[in-house]
Each structure stands twice: as structure tokens, then as C-alpha cells.
Chains A and B, each alone.
Chain A
Amino acid sequence: MNILLLPDLLIILLAASILAIDLYRGKPQSTVSFHMSWIGLLVIFCLLIILPYDQEITYWGTYKVTGISLLFKQVFVLSSLCTVLLSAPYFKPGGNARGVLRYRSEFYFIILLCTFGMFAVVSATGLLTLFIGMELATIPLYILSGYQKEDSLSVEAATKYIIMGSLSTGLLVFGYSFLYGCAGSLSFKAISVFAMASPTDPLFRLGVLFVLAAIGFKLTIFPFHMWAPDVYDGAPTPVTAFISVSSKAVAIGFLLILVYGPLAPLHNYLQIILLILAGATMTVGNLGALKQKRLRRFMAYSSIAQAGYIIMAMAGTAAAAYSSIIYYLFVYAAANYAIFFIISIVGRNGEEEFKSLQGMGKQNPVLAAVLMLTLFSLGGIPPLAGFMGKFLLFAAAAERGFYSMVIFAALNSTISLYYYLLLVKEAYIIKPAIAPRVLVIDNIQRISLVLLTSAMVSLGLIPLFSSNIMAIVQ
């Protein structure tokens, strides 16, 4: 039964053929690579849905495909599909006020292989695959965030990202060396055996803390979050969206695999650390978002806060944490991409700022309504998907009796509602000082927004989806 490996192979094949076609028949303005990417990703996603989820196969001894890893792959493929669709206007002259991006097929090639790196992370059975997969999921992002070469902000973002990223990689390897030294092997099984035998070994715990700090950078956990606003603001918008969803999802997958895999005997000890980090992260993210005026920077802080909620669920049992977090990732991805699509519409002929939203309620009521729905979903208002997602996350922590933490998170959620509503106010209430620019929406953006909005509503209303995930996890 080799069909379970098909998505991984197809995505490499797709990337290779995009590059090959560009090499032999490429013209700078050709959109062949764009159409190939989104059709290919759509095919891979359909394939992922029909694959059997109740099997567990290990390829070549070290590459394991399970139902959970397939669920994560769904998130990654959906996210890169949205990024590809989102990036379409950015390669056209006049598609964005910041200037035209170039090297279209290389962009998709990098995105696709980055996604493959994420696949490798969730399929790993050893520290080495985990590490290299993580690198393949991050190094392309440094390149992508500097894609707007003429823009000094973009160059600054790439520089900051690469420096912070290298630092975190260094910490990760350092932590691994302790784990390897203790267990004597890189495989999860050996580490698990060691953790079971001597969970209080100081060297081992030191290694775990290093790994936690390193992944904190990727996941933008406080106090490792300070790079996020600058990178999110500087990178081209499709890349920002990709970083905010895919990169976060892969870091969470990485953490879940470690915390509930080889480090499961330490869970009681890690629980407290994770909860403290979660509390601090959501507070910092929420307070930071209050004062932002630029949309991408605002989204950076919002996603820091969301990372806090997600980490909180890791205090729960394995089944609860996996199911609630994977479900939330779908919800979060839908809402985030909807916002970024709206940002790309606003950014077509203006700055991507709060001010550019003014007058949207009069000029394009449907778009403004979509914006409002999305923000409500991010804030967690029923009956939208965001409420259901947050409910499951909070329930995972409450199951283990961390009620005070849940109350704290709920309070934080209220703060977040305030600043999400600020955007709604900007779109509906504040009268624009100058006549608002005409918003042009192309077909790709319209269809994507319709799909994302219906996903947001139906994910929250129809319980089938979340119960499906729970069934697969258990």
C-alpha cells in the first residue's frame, strides 16, 4: 500500500516540473506556473481527502505516515494553495501598490518545496528528519520574505528573519545534542525509553528547554516573538500570510510530535512551562495589537495571541490536544487567509493600513461584511468557526483542571475582541477624510473569499468536521 506516500511524491514532482517548464519555455509574464501550482495543489488536496486515515505505514524505516500526519498535510496543502491564489495579483503590473514581484515560477517552486519540508516534519520518526524538515520549512521563508528586492522594508525583514532564525536553529541543534547525548540515538523510540527511565535527568531537561526555546522562535511565543511584527510587515503580503499560517502550523506540529511522543513522560513538568508561556504570549500579543495602525503588523500581533491560545491546549491529554489544535489550525487558516485576501484587495492601489479600510461599508458592503465575519471568527464569537475552535482549545486545558488558566484566556479573548472590532469600526463607522479609492476585486479573490467565508461559517455550524478529526486522532 504505497498510496499514502503519494502526496509527498506528487508535491516534489509538481515543484520540479514547474521549474523545468520555466527553464525550457518560460517567459517572464507567463502564468503557466501559477495555473500548474494551484491545480496541482488542488489535486493533492483531493487526494489527501480520499486517502485512508486509519492506517500507519513506515517507509524506509524512518518516514511514518499516520492519520494525524495526513491531517496536518491537509492544513499545509490548503495553506499553500491559498498562498498561491493570494499571490496572483502581486506578479501583475498594477496588482499591488508596493510594486511588482518577479520570478513567479521560482516563487511557487520555493513555496511547494517548503510545504514538502513541512510534510517531512510531521512524518518524522527521528530527530534528524525532524530537524532537516524544519530547516526546509524555514530557510525558504527567509528567501521569500526578501522577495520584494527593491523595497528596503522587505530586505530588512529578510535580514532580521535570517538572523533570528539562525539563532533559533543553533539553539535547536544545541538542545538536540543534549537529547542525543542522553539517549545515545536520534530515534524517538530511544529518546522515549530514556525519558521513561530517568525523567529528572538534568542534562535531558536542559536539552528539552533548549528545544522549547528554539521552537518558541518559530511559533512566536513570548519572549521569542519580537521578530514577528517586523518580518510580517516587511515581507510581501502572500509571504506574510504563508508565514502566519504554514510556518506556525508546522512549528505546532513539531511541538505536538515531541511533547506527546518521545517527551510524553515529562508532560507533567512541561505542562506548567507551556501554560506560563501560553499566558504570557496571549497577553503580549493582545496588548501589542491594541496600538497598531498597519494591517500586516496588526496581523502579526494577532497571530502571536492566537499562538498563545493554541499552546494552552497542550496542557491537555494527547487526544484532546491533537484534535482541538488541528481543528483550530483549519479555522485559523481560513480566517487568516480571508483577512489577507482583503488586505490584498485594499493594497491593490493603496497602503495596507487601517485608514485604507475606511468607507468600505458604503462602497462594498459585501466585502465589509466578510471582513466583519472574519474578525468575529478570529475573536471567537458564536456561531462562527472561531468560537468552536477556541471552545475546543479551552476545553482541552479545562479537562485537566486548569480552570484559572481558562478564565485568564477568556479574559484575553475579550481584549482581542476589542481590537478586532477596531477594524470593523474603521470599515463601517469612521467617515473617510478623502474620497475612498475604488476597490477592484478580481475573480480569483472573489471566489477564494466566498469559499473561505463559507468554510468559516460551516466549520462552526456543522459538527461533522470536528468530530471527524476527533475520530481520526483517537
Chain B
Amino acid sequence: MMSDLLFYGLVTTLVLLSLLAVSLPNLLHGAIALIGSFFATAALYIMLQLEFVALSQIMLYIGGIIIFMLIIILLTSGLGQENRYMVKGRRRAAGAGVSALLLIGLLLTISQPSETLQKATLRAAPVTMDDIGFRLMATNKNGFIIPFEIISILLLVALVGAVVIARRDNGQEQES
């Protein structure tokens, strides 16, 4: 019972914050609302006992993507600048129509139980962080050590590339 209440509370917060994120006139405020909605999603994951997913949600989305977005806002428009656009009534109606169609489609699909989906959901039993860590570094046929190591190389290449692209060249190098 308690968890039901918590769930509906979280979901309401999530929907409200997401609505705010797309409707606030100030981009910065929108980004902050988005942080809130990501936290609410992470909380939902914790309720489903998916600690790892919750953690990566916080680390990736809030730690990475939002910071990225803030930098973009900082670089493109002034912080705190308000953008108000007048949306015509016909546009509004068209948008509402498309959304309604999507909603109906989603409801129809979800209400029809798919066997594959159900089976897949059953298999995804709760896992602990330890399991994930061990499996990531395992060297047997279920392990992910190879992709894990290749990611490190990928990051190295990306770093070197970023330095090459972003570095400001002083004319000296060319002359010598």
C-alpha cells in the first residue's frame, strides 16, 4: 500500500517536472526541471530494485547530459534569457492530435499482452551491483571483459581527437 502511494507520488512529480521542462520559457529553468525529472526516474528504478540502473541514470543523465546541455545553453544563448514563441491555434490542435494518436496507439499496444515482452520481463530478475561488476570483468563466455577494455581504447582515441580538434594552433608550429 505504502509503495503504491510512493509510486503515484513519484509518477506525478515526474510528469509535472517533465511538463515544466518543455514549457518553461527560460531554458535554464527547463534544464533544472529536467534534472528533477531524471531524479524522479532514478527513484522509480530504485523502487524496482534496479540500483545499478538508478545509479547510472544519475551519473549519466544528471552528471553528464545535463551538464552538457547547460554548457550548450551557456554557449548559444545568454543564461536566463527568456524565449517566448507564439504558437498558433491550428498548430496547437495539430500537436494535440498527433499526441492523442500516439497515446491511443500506445494504449492499444500495451493493453495487448505480448508473449515475448512478458518472457523478457520475467527473465530480468533483480541483480545486485556485485553481479554486474563480476560479470563485467569475467573472462568466461558470459563475461564482458573485451568490450570493457575496448571502451577504454575508444575513450583514449576520443580524448586525443578532442585535443587535436579543440587546440588553438599558433602559427609557429607551421613555420618551424
Contact = CB atoms under 8 A, between A and B. Distances in A.
Interface of A: 12, 19, 27-29, 58, 60-63, 93, 100, 102-103, 106, 109-110, 113-114, 116-117, 120, 125-126, 128-129, 131-133, 135-136, 139-140, 142-143, 146-147, 149, 181-182, 184, 187, 201, 203-204
Given A103-B164, A129-B146, A181-B117, A139 B141 contact: no
Contacts of B74: none
12 contacts: A62-B141, A113-B157, A116-B153, A117-B150, A128-B147, A136-B154, A140-B157, A143-B157, A143-B164, A147-B164, A182-B120, A187-B142
B124 to A, nearest CB: 8
B160 interface: yes
Given A182-B116, A187-B141, 9 more contacts: A19-B160, A60-B139, A60-B145, A62-B141, A113-B153, A113-B157, A117-B154, A136-B154, A184-B119
B154 A61 contact: no
A282 B142 CA distance: 41
Contacts of B143: 60-62
B6 interface: no
Contacts of A140: 157, 161
B140 interface: yes
B76 interface: no
Of all A-B residue pairs in the complex, the 6 with the closest CB atoms, nearest first, are: A143-B161, A61-B141, A60-B139, A128-B147, A181-B120, A61-B140
Interface in B45-99: none
B165 A102 contact: no
A383 B120 CA distance: 55
Contact of B146 (A60, A117, A135, A201): A60
Contacts of B141: 58, 61-62, 125, 187
Interface in B86-143: 114, 116-117, 119-120, 123, 138-143
Contacts of A204: 116
B174 A201 contact: no
A276 B67 CA distance: 44
B22 interface: no
Contacts of B120: 181-182, 184
B3 interface: no
Given A62-B145, A103-B164, A129-B146, A136 B116 contact: no
A28 B146 CA distance: 35
Contacts of A187: 141-142
Contact of B139 (A61, A110, A117, A136): A61
A61 B141 CA distance: 4
A219 B141 CA distance: 30
B169 A149 contact: yes
Contacts of A131: 147
A80 to B, nearest CB: 14
A182 B141 CA distance: 20
Majority SS at the chain B contact face: helix
B22 to A, nearest CB: 20
Given A132-B151, A133-B150, A100 B174 contact: yes
A129 B147 contact: yes
A76 to B, nearest CB: 15
B151 to A, nearest CB: 6
Given A61-B140, A181-B117, A139 B147 contact: no
B173 interface: yes
Most buried by B among A61, A135, A184: A61
B110 to A, nearest CB: 14
Given A61-B141, A187-B141, A102 B169 contact: yes
Nearest to A158: B165
B161 A12 contact: no
A114 B146 CA distance: 16
B176 A28 contact: yes
Given A61-B143, A63-B146, A132-B147, A110 B157 contact: yes
A83 to B, nearest CB: 16
Interface string B160-176: 11111100010001101
B54 to A, nearest CB: 19
A110 B146 contact: no
B150 A132 contact: yes
Contact of B116 (A120, A143, A203): A203
Nearest to A62: B146
A298 B144 CA distance: 42
A136 B114 contact: no
A463 to B, nearest CB: 37
A146 B165 contact: yes
Contacts of B157: 109-110, 113-114, 136, 139-140, 143
A139 B117 contact: no
A309 B169 CA distance: 43
Nearest to B151: A132
Contacts of A126: 147
Contacts of B176: 27-29
B141 to A, nearest CB: 4
Contacts of A132: 147, 150-151, 154
Contacts of B16: none
Contacts of B161: 106, 110, 139-140, 142-143
